[in-house]
Amino acid sequence: MEYVLKSTLVRALLLSLTAVVVFAQAGMAGNWWEKVKIKGDLRYRHEMIDKEDKDDRHRHRVRARLGIFGDVSPYTKVGIQLATGSNDPVSTNQTLDGAFSTKQVGIDLAYFEASHPRLPGLNAKGGKFKNPFFKPGKSELIWDGDWNPEGGVVAFKKKSGDFDLTLTGAGFWIDERSSSDDSYIAAGQVVGRLHFNEKKSNLTFGGSIFNYVNAEGFEPFFDQDDAMGNSIVGVVSGEDTVEVYASGFELVELFGEFTHKFESTPVTVMFDYVTNSAADSLNTGWLFGLRVGKAKEPGSWEFRYIYRNLEADAVLGMFTDSDFRGGGTDAKGHEVGGAIQLAAITAFKASYFINEIGLEAEETEGFNRMQVDLQLKF
């Protein structure tokens, strides 16, 4: 515990020193506080998990995030954010247990963003940043909402009348290995958005390619003992047998989203489809869903419903939605949720998952999850 606390303190001090240097340079051109924004949020969650043949589990969790974002120059921005939680790549939740022990804090975001007026519409990022890829209706068929990739991304946006076009290319580092090949993701996405009906309606559509280089034959990423639903095989390594991914992951995604605003209430219908061409079977996933309303102003509300079917090797299990079926693939089922904006910075949210695990099993395993959140932002 002492080592964890010391490591956390060192990271926080280094981060603070970096922020001081960066924003001091920005301040040379004027008042530094005009170029810096501080953002944060706190979420308190009660969660109930009902897994077949196991006792119900209840836990309380918090998520706290604090970020500093500033302009280093007219064309360059920097963002640094700390968050609670462990080193889980798809969660910054911190469970309240451990006899009131001090909780961990780590680097959630650390990136630069650059653009230039001579290259209109072009934007580049490097470091650890938020997911740059469009997700229909903010759904999580391929990527969990808390997944923040590491590497570089370049995006180009072009507007022509009522049509917007976005092209995105990226390279994300997964594992750097000293004794064997590195694993990484080479990715690209095309998104088109058409506005019509006096901009009360818009149709978004597009496709993506996500190619995992050096995944097949390697041990599961992050947690070598849990493939999160993906197919694995045992191979001999020295005197031991280790489990490795049975196939690669070369994902092709097609998606669509239609939104119409009925007076002040937006309604969104979404669809997402993915197939893994590197796997011979159990390689497809899809979802459809509906969103009504938007919890933004005090008293406003929103509702969502999503149904998905995700075969074992359709996507990499570690990075997909960590709430659906408890995290991973090889499952299907419903997600229902909603929110009410209680005040300008305070919202009450709730979600319920009714899922079945084991699509190829003779009998599926039931999984239900309820989440009740109080979220505050500043």
Q: Output the pLDDT for position 97.
A: 95
Write phi, then psi, for 325 (nearest 5 degrees).
55, 15
CB 70 within 8 A of CB 23: yes
- Looking from the CA of 128 toward its CB, the CA atoms found within 13 Å total 14
Q: Which residue has the tokens 């909603």?
A: 338
Please spell the DSSP secondary structure of 293-354, one letter per residue.
E---STT-EEEEEEEEEE-TTSS-TTTS-SSGGGSSSSEEEEEEEEEEEEETTEEEEEEEEE
Q: Output the pLDDT for position 30.
A: 59
Count up the domains in the chain and report the number.
Answer: 1
In a domain, 86, yes or no: yes
CA dihedral (189, 337, 350, 303) positive or negative: positive
Q: Output the pLDDT for position 33.
A: 76
pLDDT per residue rounded down to tens, the chain (378 residues): 434 444 444 454 445 445 444 544 544 455 777 889 999 999 999 999 999 989 999 999 999 999 999 999 999 999 999 999 989 999 999 999 999 999 999 999 999 999 999 999 999 999 999 999 999 999 999 999 999 999 999 999 999 999 999 999 999 999 999 989 999 999 999 999 999 999 899 999 999 999 999 999 999 999 999 999 999 999 988 888 999 999 999 999 999 999 999 998 999 999 999 999 999 999 999 999 999 999 999 999 999 999 999 999 999 999 999 999 999 999 999 999 999 999 999 999 999 999 999 999 999 999 999 999 999 999
In a domain, 12, yes or no: yes
Q: Which residue has the tokens 């080592």?
A: 3
In a domain, 80, yes or no: yes
Q: Output the pLDDT for position 29.
A: 52
CA gap 211, 199 in Å, rounded: 35
6-38 burial, b at 16+ Cβ within 10 Å, e below that, comes to eebeeeeeebeeeeeebbeebeeeeebeebbee
In 3D space, the residue among 83, 98, 112, 91 whose CA is nearest the CA of residue 8 turns out to be: 83
Range of the domain at 36: 1-43+63-114
In 3D space, the residue among 198, 304, 212 whose CA is nearest the CA of residue 261 turns out to be: 198
Residue 356 corresponds to which amino acid? Answer: E
Q: Output the pLDDT for position 236.
A: 87
Q: Exposed, middle or buried, 185 (CB in 10 Å: 0-12/13-18/19+)? A: buried
With a CB cutoff of 8 Å and minimum separation 6, the contacts of 228 are 220, 316, 317, 318, 320, 327, 328, 329
Angle at 266 between CA 263 and CA 267, to 5 degrees: 120
In a domain, 185, yes or no: no
CB 194 within 8 A of CB 208: no
In a domain, 10, yes or no: yes
In a domain, 142, yes or no: no
Q: Output the pLDDT for position 34.
A: 83
In a domain, 346, yes or no: no
In a domain, 104, yes or no: yes
